[in-house]
Amino acid sequence: MKRVKAIGLALLLALTILGCGNKTVQNEQQTVKIAYLPITHSLAVLEEAKLLEENGDVEIELVKYGSWPELLDALNTGNVDGASILIELAMKSKAEGVGLKAVALGHRDGNVIVASNEITEEELAGKTIAIPHRQSSHYILVNDLLARNDLTVDDVHIVELAPTEMPSALAAGTIDAYCVAEPFGAMGVSIGAGHVLCESEELWKDSICCGLVLTDAFIEQRPEVAKTVVDTYKTAGSNLSRDEALSVAKENLNQTDEVLDLSLEWISFDDLEITEEMYAELADKVKKYGLLENPPTYEEFVKTEFE
């Protein structure tokens, strides 16, 4: 009888441990790692994390990076499940064989080209213009502005510069203009270093800049969680009224109210679907301006429906 009781207790203990183990695995499966940079363009991801923390079984673990190359490396190596990232960087990774899908826009509009106060767009020839990365919508927008004035990148000096350095570089006169993710355009204006030459929608209507990108492995291995992430992300974008966006920005971005107020004048987060028409125009510009010779097709790269 004692032997039977001992076996029973051992079996009960084993089942308890197994149950706890399964619970741990289940909890881990509900956590999704999303990489981001602390910029205005990432507010939808930040809002989503807030919504899921309050209402959902899925948890977004936000992983903050200080530069696009660092973030891209984490995404490409599978250290995160997804990222809010420059869409052109993700397109290049996809073209190089990395398993990625763009599932939503990061925002709408939201980019400006800022120049020294004494410079007009007709006076850009010979000037130094900074961008964060050549694989970016900022580089495309600069090309579009130059084309509008019968110029090309051969007529100016294009330099890559860390976004945080651009406002001070403009103030110091080491660059003459720049185009970058917000809130760094607003910073240059708020400190009096420059003025807005043009907003992105003047050059490229429905431009695509940042996007929410998920790894193929995450989508395939955890499809229900991926659907929750995408659905909640789109809801988060709809929730980002001016007041809510300002509140989220104040909580997460180390910027003054003046900078954030100005930055949010140029951006919106509603309707974050990536349409075929929008992507086709992006792909055309990517080829036209030499970012990629053969960008991935919409069918290969964009996923908008989750079952």
224/89 same-domain check: yes
70/216 same-domain check: yes
70/55 same-domain check: yes
The answer to whether residue 15 is domain-embedded is no
Structure tokens at 9: 């207790």
Give the pLDDT of residue 56: 75
Query: What band does 21 get if pLDDT is binned at 50, 70 and 90?
Result: very low
Average pLDDT value for the chain: 91
The answer to whether residue 294 is domain-embedded is yes
Give the pLDDT of residue 22: 42
227/251 same-domain check: yes
192/119 same-domain check: yes
Give the pLDDT of residue 15: 40
Give the pLDDT of residue 7: 43
For the chain, the domain total comes to 2
The answer to whether residue 61 is domain-embedded is yes
Q: Residue 223 above 90 pLDDT?
A: yes
* 306, burial (CB in 10 Å: exposed 0-12, middle 13-18, buried 19+): middle
pLDDT tens figures, 238-287 = 999 999 999 999 999 999 999 999 999 999 998 999 999 999 999 999 99
CATH assignment of the domain containing 121 = 3.40.190.10
pLDDT tens figures, 149-172 = 999 999 999 999 999 999 999 999
Give the pLDDT of residue 55: 80
| Closest residue by Cα to residue 106 from 132, 88, 124 | 88
The answer to whether residue 8 is domain-embedded is no
User: Pick from 203, 233, 268: which residue ends a domain?
Assistant: 203
| Closest residue by Cα to residue 229 from 96, 100, 74, 58 | 58
132/238 same-domain check: no
Query: What band does 135 get if pLDDT is binned at 50, 70 and 90?
Result: very high
Q: What's the count of helices (H) and strands (E) in the chain, helices before strands? A: 14, 12
The answer to whether residue 4 is domain-embedded is no
Q: Residue 2 above 60 pLDDT?
A: no
Give the pLDDT of residue 152: 97
36/149 same-domain check: no
The answer to whether residue 6 is domain-embedded is no
142/271 same-domain check: no
Inter-residue contact 296 to 92 (CB < 8 Å): no
Q: Report angle CA 107, 209, 138 to the nearest 5 degrees.
A: 135
71/47 same-domain check: yes
Tell me which of 6 and 181 has the higher pLDDT.
181
The answer to whether residue 9 is domain-embedded is no
196/214 same-domain check: no
Structure tokens at 80: 């995160």
Tell me which of 20 and 142 has the higher pLDDT.
142
Inter-residue contact 32 to 81 (CB < 8 Å): yes
Residue 155 domain boundaries: 112-203
| Single-letter amino acid code for the residue at 93 | S
Contact partners, residue 158, CB within 8 Å, separation at least 6: 129, 130, 131, 134, 139, 142
User: Pick from 173, 203, 233: which residue ends a domain?
Assistant: 203
Q: What is the mean pLDDT of residues 193-218?
A: 96
Percentage of the chain exceeding pLDDT 70: 91
126/271 same-domain check: no
Q: Residue 175 above 90 pLDDT?
A: yes
Give the pLDDT of residue 54: 86
The answer to whether residue 66 is domain-embedded is yes
User: Pick from 155, 173, 203: which residue ends a domain?
Assistant: 203
100/233 same-domain check: yes
Q: How many residues does the chain have?
A: 307
Q: What is the mean pLDDT of residues 279-298?
A: 97
